[in-house]
Amino acid sequence: SQQGEEDPQALSIQEGENATMNCSYKTSINNLQWYRQNSGRGLVHLILIRSNEREKHSGRLRVTLDTSKKSSSLLITASRAADTASYFCAKGNTGFQKLVFGTGTRLLVSP
């Protein structure tokens, strides 16, 4: 079963606008990761944020983590049509390479 719930389930915006996706989880984490998936293909890693970090940036991406609320958010600034994809958060914990994925947010960026 999935431990991460994401909202919104779907998001439709125009190019140039910002997109924010939220992820909540139930149990403690070592880190939280965000992945992108284009149309039923493999996943691409975007950002990993550790439990002792609060914010992380990578290009147009900004991820925040609030461990007290067990939630994370992914912000994509100045969205482009190429950002159209599904975005998943994944909970990582110490031990082995097992990720527990959220339900995903489908993002549609229109030109």
- How many residues touch other proteins under the rule CB under 8 A: the total is 28
| Span of 12-20, 27-35, 52-60, 67-75 interacting with other proteins by CB under 8 A | 27-35
- Considering the rule CB under 8 A, would residue 97 count as an interface residue with other proteins? yes
| Span of 19-27, 56-64, 71-79, 101-109 interacting with other proteins by CB under 8 A | 101-109
Residue 48 three-state SS:
strand
- Considering the rule CB under 8 A, would residue 105 count as an interface residue with other proteins? no
Rg (CA), the chain: 13
| Span of 20-28, 38-46, 60-68, 69-77 interacting with other proteins by CB under 8 A | 38-46
* 51 residue type, one letter: S
Phi, psi of 16 (to 5 degrees): 95, -20
- Considering the rule CB under 8 A, would residue 103 count as an interface residue with other proteins? yes
> Please, which contacts does 63-66 make with residues 24 or more away whose CB atoms are closer than 8 Å?
63/32, 63/34, 65/32
Give the closest residue to 23 by CA, choosing from 103, 111, 82, 107: 103
- Considering the rule CB under 8 A, would residue 48 count as an interface residue with other proteins? yes
User: Tell me, what DSSP letter sits at residue 67?
Assistant: T
Q: Give the footprint of other proteins on this chain (CB under 8 A).
A: 1-2, 30-31, 33, 35, 40-45, 48, 88, 90, 92-104
